[in-house]
Amino acid sequence: MSTANLLAFEPADASAARELAAALSAAGVETRALSDELAAPEASTEAVVTAGAIIPLLTPAAAASDGMRRAVSLALANGRPVVPVLAADIAPESWLSVAVDHDLLVDIRPGVTGPAVAELARALSETTGKGRVVAMLNIKGGVGKTVLAANLFTAAHLAANRSIAFIDLDPQHNLTQYFLPPAERNRIRAANQTIYSVLVGSGPSAAEREAFARLAVPLNRSKRAGKPRFELITGDERLFEFTLDNRSERQRAEAFARFHALIQVLRTRVDAIVIDANPCATFLTRLAIAAADHIVAPVRPEKYSLTGLNMLEHVVTEIRGRRLKPDEFSVLLNGVNDRVRSRAGEDADAATRAEISAAPFFGSSLLPEAVPYSGALKATPSDRYAVNPINVTAMMRVASREVKASLAGAAAAILKRAEA
């Protein structure tokens, strides 16, 4: 869990940093300083990834600092909010200017005034929220990730009264197709209310940041008053543009900042934000991994399961710039007790569990809960208008009591680990 905010600055800017830290302390904002540790990778890594938010002091010295670059990059790659403070002019084309979100920037060049401190305190307060971000990921395809995500967190919503927001970050937008019929999907896309409109920063398809709070489509449309939210930021096939390496560094940084702005909006109103990401390593994968508090890797009982997990671990380590901790990760077996497979004479369930349990990293991340094979968990996108989209899920259809109980148990275990 995150602790105090972290004020990152270069030794040359110590005077301005001390003044700002004192003003924040007087305003009741808990802040600690990070200066000399910027040059020490291990110390700065631990400080950054456990901070509430990072406050980089923007100056020419900071823009020229490898330590500052590492700290800001690490924060962005590990889901830590970055609220920049401009203490002196820096070149617009510098990496630091490109990397930070200028919509959050607080200008103290005229001095550390009361209004500037109040603006910074407000910006920092808006980065907090109860919601935890869970990314459903596996570099290997065919593990049932999308339908499992939909049904797991429907179970959390129905069985435990949890408020859930889905983000469909896969260009194939299967999660959106699972819940919504074509006519509704087309209407939402035409209104520029999909995740694509969040990621593009300009042009006719872009959504204003003020509209982010209104983009989610309710999936549980029952008339019951006071029900928790259950909603979806819809996918869009145009996301494929972000899987190609043809956008500028500034465009990618803007997409990154806008995605995290959406996450912050959702954190304030739901218990969990569930990201369904594409099964490969692209910019979209980076968005999901960087935003996630917890990563869930569904695997099917088969001999290639550990290979897919090892690939995922390498991708996460590369993106986050550090090794993942076991409690930041869960492995969930999906499709166990398949009688067709067991007749072949091999207990694939037990073999897969034993192989993963013996792996140095994944052993402690493998959940004891598992989801049994069930026809009710096959991908069946809606092809008609569903008055209440939640009705297409196994929890609301004809799934067995065993399947429903396993989904509720696995969802509860995942959210417990994510909230620890």
Give per-residue pLDDT as tens, 321-365. 998 888 899 999 998 987 666 656 678 888 889 999 998 888 899
Beta sheet of 5-8, edge-to-edge order: 31-34, 5-8, 54-58, 85-86, 106-107
- Does domain 132-419 fall under CATH 3.40.50.300? My reply is yes
Tokens linked to 87: 């203490």
Q: Residue 384 pLDDT more than 80?
A: no
Q: Which DSSP symbol is given to 8?
A: E
Of 60-64, 305-309, 326-330, the poorest mean pLDDT is in 305-309
Cβ burial 18-57 (10 Å sphere, 16+ → b, else e): eebbebbeeeebebebbbebbeeeeebbebbbebbbbbbb
Q: State the Cα–Cα distance between residues 30 and 364, nearest whole angstrom.
A: 34
Q: Pinpoint the residues of the chain covered by CATH 3.40.50.300.
A: 132-419
Q: Where in the chain is the domain with CATH 3.40.50.10490?
A: 5-125
Pick 5-125's CATH classification: 2.40.50.140, 3.40.50.10490, 3.40.50.920, 2.40.50.100. 3.40.50.10490
Point out the least confidently predicted range of 114-128, 165-179, 253-267, 382-396. Answer: 382-396
CA distance 292 to 322: 14
What pLDDT score does 1 carry? 46
What is the rounded CA–CA span in Å between residue 379 and residue 114?
A: 55
Say whether pTM exceeds 0.85: yes
What average pLDDT does the structure give for the chain? 91
Residue 2 has a pLDDT of: 53
Contacts of 21-25 with CB under 8 Å at 24 or more apart are 23/112, 23/117, 24/117, 24/120, 24/121
What's the residue count for the chain?
420
Task: Give the tokens for residue 226.
Answer: 């006071």
For 125-179, write each residue's pLDDT tens digit: 988 888 999 999 988 777 789 999 999 999 999 999 999 999 999 999 999 999 9
